[in-house]
Amino acid sequence: GENVEQHPSTLSVQEGDSAVIKCTYSDSASNYFPWYKQELGKGPQLIIDIRSNVGEKKDQRIAVTLNKTAKHFSLHITETQPEDSAVYFCAARASGFQKLVFGTGTRLLVSP
């Protein structure tokens, strides 16, 4: 089955810097890759996703890149702000399955 690895587990940056979180997946049939943000005491919330027929997707300060050959995808946050501090999860879905497999999460801390 699918296995998703996520790095780093914690990431500290200064406000205004960029942050990059990386994930690798094992199943070459996976075709959907969402990223979730979880604030303290809340459920995860989708912030951006990408499908396997696209190499990059951008939404304001957030972007996701996908390298199908290497089976990895990354979340890029530019001009970080303190409110970006949260836990971020990547996930992957294999074609034909209704299940998402999640990475173990990255705790991002943005210091003013």
DSSP run (H or E) holding 76? strand 72-77
Compare residues 52 and 78 and give the one whose CB is closer to another protein.
52
Least Å distance, CB 73 to another protein, is 15
Cα–Cα distance, 77 to 79 (Å, whole number)? 7
Cα–Cα distance, 69 to 66 (Å, whole number)? 9
Residue 88 near another protein by CB under 8 A: no
Residue 99 near another protein by CB under 8 A: yes
Residue 27 near another protein by CB under 8 A: no
Least Å distance, CB 72 to another protein, is 17
